[in-house]
Amino acid sequence: MISVDDYRDRVAELLGTAPATALPLAAAAGLVLAEDVRAGVSLPPFDNSAMDGYAVRAADVTAAPVTLPVADDIPAGRVDVRPLEPGTAHRIMTGAPLPPGADAVVMVEDTDGGTETVTISA
């Protein structure tokens, strides 16, 4: 008697590998990729926020709770994003571009939701 792993290896040898075939995406349902798929362009073409909250520098909030001035509001779709200055926060919406200088987004649920200043609790 052979082990399940040996049996699986023998069956795989008998089946072999099918040649790679280029197909339209709609015709590829249920098939296995022969190689990694890579997009031709990055979409969106910028780092964006996955949630509503406040864009911050992580170093500014490690000692939470902290209160920071809110220097800007960044809605989704905005293109003229100002850099984040140390010791400040930018209110940011889901899908909006992260401002240069920000390396974290604090969820609005972890704040007091302020508009002039924001207290970050976690």
Give the whole-angstrom CA distance, residue 7 versus residue 46.
49
In this prediction, residue 12 carries a pLDDT of: 87
Is the overall model pTM greater than 0.75, yes or no?
no
Number of H helices, E strands in the chain: 2, 5
pLDDT of residue 78: 92
Q: Write down the pLDDT at residue 66.
A: 98
Note the CATH number of domain 53-120: 2.170.190.11
Residue 43 has what pLDDT?
86
Digit-coded pLDDT (tens) for 25-70:
899 999 989 889 888 898 888 999 999 999 999 999 999 999 999 9
CA angle 92, 97, 103 (to 5 degrees): 75
Using only C-alpha atoms, what is the Rg of the chain?
Answer: 24
CB 70 within 8 A of CB 111: no
Average pLDDT score over the chain: 94
What pLDDT is recorded for position 18? 81
> In the chain, what is the greatest distance between 2 CA atoms, to the nearest angstrom?
74
Q: What share of the chain has pLDDT > 70, as a percent?
A: 100
**Cis status of the peptide bond prior to 44, with omega within 30 of 0:** yes
* Residue pLDDT, tens place only, 78-104: 989 999 999 999 999 999 999 999 999
Domain extent listing, the chain: 53-120
Give the pLDDT confidence score for residue 76 in this predicted structure: 94
